[in-house]
A and B are shown apart, each in its own frame.
Chain A
Amino acid sequence: MGVYLPVYFATVFATSLYVQHHHPRGTALYVCAALPWLALCGGIASIAVYLYEERDGYSRDLAMRCLLWGATGAMATNSFLMYLRMFGWRGQAPALLEICVFAAAMLVARIAYSVSNRPECGRKEN
């Protein structure tokens, strides 16, 4: 994941610069959108590979739970926005709102699991 994020930011920066100067349309616009998207898809694939390779069942289960909470947040936001648009909403949601909600929900879940699974201080072992 650490490899994909710099690649992603570099791709977003370069593509945004290109789009601002050349104003591409049609297929060129699709290609410009596909470039940073491919970098993020690499990140998603690296998560899948991590889950496949992780041998510690507890860590894998925890990661899967956090990802599912993130996905729930993202899908809930996406559904709400979709209904608003369908019912004639003229507004514009912030760009990449769903991915931000995904990351936030995942972080909250991770913190909540860390707090709830914290070992008790001073517990006596029998």
Chain B
Amino acid sequence: MKTAAKKTYMRRSMTVLAGYFLTFSGTFWFVQHAHPTGLELYACAVLPFFPLFVVFALTAAYLKAERDEFSRELVMRCLLWGAGASLSVNLFVGFLRIFNWPGQAPPFLELFAFCGAVLLAKLTYKLSNPLPAE
């Protein structure tokens, strides 16, 4: 069952994520046509990054607002599993780069690792703590 804080968080996050896809598509199109450099390039990178940053802030606000301790702890644990996976992937790629790896990691690799680990943790916790039928 979703708490009121979770429902608000989901609604706000979905709105921001819709904005993210629009911003990302718009910026990507602009970069491919205008080939910006220097400060313009940094500004272009900030544009799609900003909605993601808002989602981080919304998650922090949700964790502060959530009154159901079990739900909050579960979300924190899932996020930490995601962070662990994302950081370990990032570290592996970092060491490859330090050791002069000529390749390039796929874009969004760390973000996919984060989402995958969060989803897996959520499923695992759900299976190990099944709620009794109401």
The reply to whether A71 and B49 form a contact with Cβ atoms under 8 Å apart is no
CB-CB under 8 A from B96, the residues of chain A are 29-30, 33
Given contacts A64-B76, A102-B87, contact A83 B94 (CB under 8 A): no
Question: Chain A: interface secondary structure?
Answer: helix
Given contacts A36-B95, A79-B52, A83-B48, contact A88 B88 (CB under 8 A): no
CB-CB under 8 A from B46, the residues of chain A are 80, 83
Asked if B108 is an interface residue, CB under 8 A from chain A, the answer is: yes
Interface centre among B36, B82, B94, B95 (most CB of A within 10 A): B95
Chain B contact-residue range equals 35 or more
Interface string of B60-84 (1 = CB under 8 A from A): 1001000000000000110110111
The reply to whether B90 and A79 form a contact with Cβ atoms under 8 Å apart is no
Asked if B14 is an interface residue, CB under 8 A from chain A, the answer is: no
CB-CB under 8 A from B53, the residues of chain A are 76
Cross-interface CB contact of B111 among A67, A79, A89, cutoff 8 Å: A79
Asked if A37 is an interface residue, CB under 8 A from chain B, the answer is: yes
Asked if B12 is an interface residue, CB under 8 A from chain A, the answer is: no
Closest Cβ neighbor of A98 among chain B residues: B90
Chain A contact-residue range equals 35 or more
Measured CA separation A105–B31 after assembly (Å) = 31
Asked if B41 is an interface residue, CB under 8 A from chain A, the answer is: yes
CB-CB under 8 A from B31, the residues of chain A are 87-88
Residues of B at under 8 Å CB distance from A? 27-28, 31, 35-36, 41-42, 44-46, 48-49, 52-53, 56, 60, 63, 76-77, 79-80, 82-84, 86-88, 90-92, 94-101, 107-108, 110-111, 114
Q: List 5 A-B contacts (CB under 8 A).
A: A80-B49, A84-B41, A85-B107, A95-B94, A98-B94
- 9 closest residue pairs by CB, A with B: A71-B83, A33-B95, A83-B45, A84-B45, A33-B96, A87-B31, A37-B92, A19-B99, A95-B98
Given contacts A64-B77, A67-B80, A85-B107, 7 further A-B contacts (CB under 8 A): A34-B92, A68-B60, A71-B82, A75-B110, A76-B49, A79-B111, A82-B108
